[in-house]
């Protein structure tokens, strides 16, 4: 059941990305304002040594983080997977590590997304969030996410 749920989420995210990429008929202007809505602001460090692929991976990572929760490892996998963006693993890792991301808050975001779709026990949600077949958060991040989302008493 959890595998099916994971695939439903992946398909939903993929469709959302396709809509974001192909849905606008007017050219995008680069937004120089790095403010995002609370609770978290995601910015890249001022590293001008990034290569073009790494800068592109940063842009992709910011897009993913703007609508879904990702762990560090999960985001690197999404960016580098052939089913994802197809960036080189090294470029994806450098891009993700150049971002200032609160991974605990990302775990809360993921936990809330799961709880909106279906019920989870505290331990079940922690397992889903921390599993290598799941979201790949650290156990501590998964516990924090599950607790803050209200799955644990």
- Is residue 93 domain-resident? yes
User: What is the longest distance spanned by two Cα atoms in the chain?
Assistant: 48
- Is residue 50 domain-resident? yes
Average pLDDT over residues 119-123: 96
CA-only gyration radius of the chain, Å: 16
> Residue for token digits 């809360």?
108
Check whether residue 127 and residue 144 sit in a common domain. yes
Q: What is the DSSP letter of 125?
A: H
Tens digits of per-residue pLDDT, 89-113?
Answer: 999 999 999 999 999 999 999 999 9
In the prediction, which pLDDT does 153 show? 81
Percent of the chain with pLDDT over 70: 69
Average pLDDT over residues 119-129: 96
Check whether residue 89 and residue 121 sit in a common domain. no
28 has a pLDDT exceeding 70: no
Check whether residue 123 and residue 151 sit in a common domain. yes
> Global pTM?
0.70
- Is residue 78 domain-resident? yes
1-6 long-range contacts, CB within 8 A, separation 24+: 2/128, 2/134, 3/133, 5/114, 5/117, 5/118, 6/134
Q: Domain containing 118: what range? A: 103-153
Check whether residue 147 and residue 117 sit in a common domain. yes
- Is residue 2 domain-resident? no
DSSP string, 10-25: HHHHHHHHHHHHHS--
- Is residue 15 domain-resident? no
> Residue for token digits 């073009």?
52
DSSP string, 25-69: -SPPPP------STT---EE---TT--HHHHHHHHHHHHHHHHS-
In the prediction, which pLDDT does 43 show? 56
Q: How many structural domains does the chain have?
A: 2
The CATH number that applies at residue 113 is: 1.10.10
58 has a pLDDT exceeding 90: yes
Average pLDDT over residues 61-81: 97
In the prediction, which pLDDT does 7 show? 55
């Amino acid at each position: 059941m959890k595998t099916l749920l994971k695939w439903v989420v992946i398909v939903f995210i993929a469709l959302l990305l396709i809509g974001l990429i192909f849905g606008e008929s007017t050219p995008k202007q680069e937004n120089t304002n790095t403010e995002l809505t609370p609770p978290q602001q995601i910015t890249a460090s001022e590293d001008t040594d990034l290569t073009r692929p790494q800068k592109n991976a940063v842009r992709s990572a910011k897009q993913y983080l703007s609508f879904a929760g990702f762990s560090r490892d999960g985001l690197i996998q999404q960016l580098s997977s052939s089913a994802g963006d197809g960036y080189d693993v090294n470029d994806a890792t450098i891009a993700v590590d150049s971002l200032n991301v609160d991974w605990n808050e990302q775990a809360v975001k993921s936990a809330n997304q799961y709880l909106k779709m279906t019920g989870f026990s505290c331990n079940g949600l922690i397992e889903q969030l921390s599993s290598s077949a799941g979201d790949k958060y650290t156990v501590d991040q998964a516990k924090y996410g599950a607790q803050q989302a209200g799955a644990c008493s």
